[in-house]
Amino acid sequence: MELAETRTAVLADVVLDLDDLRSLLKLVKELTEWQGAEHWITSIRVTAPSGARFETSEYAVLDPGGRIEESGVHSFAVVARITEGFTGEISVNLTQGRASRADNYTVSGTDSNWVAGALRRLEEFFSQVEKQRRLTIIQRRSIVLGISLGLLVLAFVVAALGFRYAHETDYVVPGDKSTAYRNVSPIKATGFTIATVVLVAVAWPLSTAVRDWVDDLWPSIEFRVGRHYVSVEERRRKSVGVVLSLIVVPFVVAVAASLFLTVLP
């Protein structure tokens, strides 16, 4: 009984269009016809962003003008097997989204030379496709640090405002300023204290949530497929840039300036 060797490589940070997927299928077909092993079985499974699923063994499913080009791609999987000469299998599984070990390609077979050669060809193919521009570690940490510090500064400003405005002026003799004294308002003091605690408490979880949301705008696996294709993530990236430059940054600067001017004597 022959032993089968299996090798798996995890794929991340790539952008694939319809031409890339067609080239991938062509390569898989070529590898499974190695040394005259012409009898091969291929299963191609595609899930569209709408949730529609397609499964076929026809290589032409990715031809221009076909159903896949119309519907787009959210996940793509192909399995090809060699059934004559020796046993061999190639499988590729890719889903758009965050990095996952489930996004991989696997080669297995009873011929070690074929396994090593097929894996090398697949590695060469994926090394030549477009790479996804992900956030660097420094950028990810900067987002967390920036939002956390911003909320902590805001908490300090709220606490300072509370210290100033939580007091009320009372008079022993109504209207007589010489008898005035400062009295803490329990309601105002409690309100400012709660606001300060909430801002401090949400600083870290909110900043990490925003970091993860921004990071998701550059999915580890991204398919750019569709007759009138415009990437959802790409639209969101552009929208975030416009909102930040035209609304958020000016608003934050204006609010911070007004708050500091209010706190200053």
Q: How confident is the model at residue 77 (pLDDT cuts 50, 70, 90)?
A: very high
Given a cut of 90, is residue 7 above it in pLDDT?
yes
Q: Is 114:98 a contact under the CB 8 Å cutoff?
A: no
Domain count, the chain: 2
In a domain, 210, yes or no: yes
Same domain, 88 and 192: no
Same domain, 100 and 36: yes
Same domain, 18 and 59: yes
Same domain, 126 and 185: no
In a domain, 233, yes or no: no
Domain span at residue 156 reads 135-216
Same domain, 147 and 167: yes
Q: How confident is the model at residue 52 (pLDDT cuts 50, 70, 90)?
A: confident
In a domain, 116, yes or no: yes
Whole-number pLDDT of residue 61: 79
Q: Answer with the residue of higher pLDDT: 144 or 64.
A: 64
In a domain, 150, yes or no: yes
In a domain, 166, yes or no: yes
In a domain, 194, yes or no: yes
Q: Answer with the residue of higher pLDDT: 17 or 175.
A: 17
Same domain, 103 and 164: no
Average pLDDT over residues 140-152: 70
Whole-number pLDDT of residue 129: 94
Whole-number pLDDT of residue 260: 59
Same domain, 126 and 11: yes
Same domain, 160 and 96: no
Same domain, 65 and 147: no
In a domain, 59, yes or no: yes
Whole-number pLDDT of residue 27: 92
Mean pLDDT of the chain: 76
Average pLDDT over residues 198-205: 75
Maximum pairwise Cα distance, the chain: 108
Same domain, 17 and 95: yes
Same domain, 98 and 183: no
Whole-number pLDDT of residue 123: 95
* The last residue of a domain, from among 96, 113, 131: 131
Q: Answer with the residue of higher pLDDT: 191 or 176.
A: 191
In a domain, 35, yes or no: yes
Choose the weakest-confidence range: 9-13, 18-22, 47-51, 237-241.
237-241
